[in-house]
Amino acid sequence: MVPQFRLSAKLAKVLMVGKLKEPNATVALYNDWYLNIIKVRRKNIYFFVHVKTKVTLAIPNDAIDNVSNFPKHFALMLKNYLTTLHFEEMAIEAYNFFCKPPQQMFFVKPNNCAAPHHIFDFKRELTYHIKKGGKIDQELCNEITSSLNNRPRKSFGYKAANEIFAENYRSYLANTPTYH
């Protein structure tokens, strides 16, 4: 299995990805992310939304040396996120899974309408923090995404994305007795 990212048309152009394929429906719990690039105050930010749980992560462009290095940075960020939820085994598995060069990634069509809503929420909070004197850096992006991931959503029955991810993880473990 290879990492699957649902790319926006804008990012597909930046990464010079040809025709996007249809998404694979059978992927690991931590796989299958919508990926976009947004611009705030002339800075690019890579924005990730987990398709099933809507967990949100973001990386400012200046934290990445080169656009082709985003998988390595994403892998580390995902590992840190899963570790904060106390899913250490999955954190290591996900890190190893995503630490691959972009040539070994599966870039697919986005066909997910919920991600733009999360992008709007992120941009709104980021703009608010910048107006208060904040600087666009990884620390601020982490603070905002943590806030978004802990915010109850009506579409999830007033549960937060972190709660949904944890429920999916427990279900994943219950249905996968050989998981190590």
What domains can be seen in the chain, in order of their start residue?
4-62+101-174 (3.30.420.10)
**What's the whole-model pTM score?**
0.84
pLDDT value at 147 more than 80: yes
pLDDT value at 180 more than 60: no
pLDDT, one tens digit per residue, over 70-117 is 788 888 999 999 999 888 988 998 898 888 765 677 788 887 556 677
Contact 81, 169 (CB under 8 A): no
pLDDT, one tens digit per residue, over 3-48 is 888 888 888 887 788 888 888 777 777 788 888 888 888 888 888 8
SS3 for the chain, per residue?
CCCEEEECHHHHHHCCCCCCECCCCCCCCCCCEEEEEEEECCEEEEEEEECCCCCEEEEEHHHCCCHHHHHHHHHHHHHHHHHHCCCHHHHHHHHHHHCCCHHHCEEECCCCCCHHHHHHHHHHHHHHHHHCCCCCCHHHHHHHHHHHHCCCEHHHCCECHHHHHHHHHHHHHHHCCCCC
The closest alpha carbon to 30, from 166, 145, 148, 175, belongs to: 166
